[in-house]
């Protein structure tokens, strides 16, 4: 159910980071691997009319978890991206509403 979306990341680095995250995130989040989706959105970013494709953005959409888990997820993502040579990283969490989220027509409890 967690959906993790990367922007401004090369496809080969996306594949590397997903392989690494599949080993660590399920235990941190408390969710099996088959419920976590990883997406890469190819994008082109301009900031103040300058190419800013070096800026890597990650959005994690999931049902809210305690702050310490959120911090561990952010640190895990940040560490993995820095290991790939990224140094300008933004990570955002978006919380899904349990009453509004259906997984194969099953509502989260």
Distance (Å, rounded) from C-alpha 63 to C-alpha 95? 5
Q: Which residues pair with 37 in a beta bridge?
A: 3
Q: Are strands 106-107 and 102-103 parallel, antiparallel or unpaired?
A: antiparallel
Confidence at residue 9, expressed as pLDDT on a 0 to 100 scale: 93
Question: What would the pLDDT profile of 19-38 be if each residue is shown by its tens digit?
Answer: 999 999 999 999 999 999 99
Question: What would the pLDDT profile of 29-74 be if each residue is shown by its tens digit?
Answer: 999 999 999 999 987 776 666 665 568 999 999 999 999 999 999 9
- The pTM score is 0.87
């Amino acid at each position: 159910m967690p959906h993790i979306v990367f922007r401004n990341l090369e496809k080969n680095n996306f594949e590397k980071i997903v392989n690494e995250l599949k080993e660590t995130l399920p235990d941190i989040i408390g969710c099996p691997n088959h419920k976590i989706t990883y997406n890469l959105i190819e994008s082109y970013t301009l900031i103040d009319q300058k190419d800013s494709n070096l800026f890597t953005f990650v959005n994690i959409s999931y049902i809210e978890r305690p702050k310490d888990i959120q911090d561990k997820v952010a640190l895990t993502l940040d560490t993995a991206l820095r290991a790939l040579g990224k140094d300008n990283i933004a990570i955002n969490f978006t919380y899904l509403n349990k009453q509004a989220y259906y997984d194969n027509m099953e509502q989260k409890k």
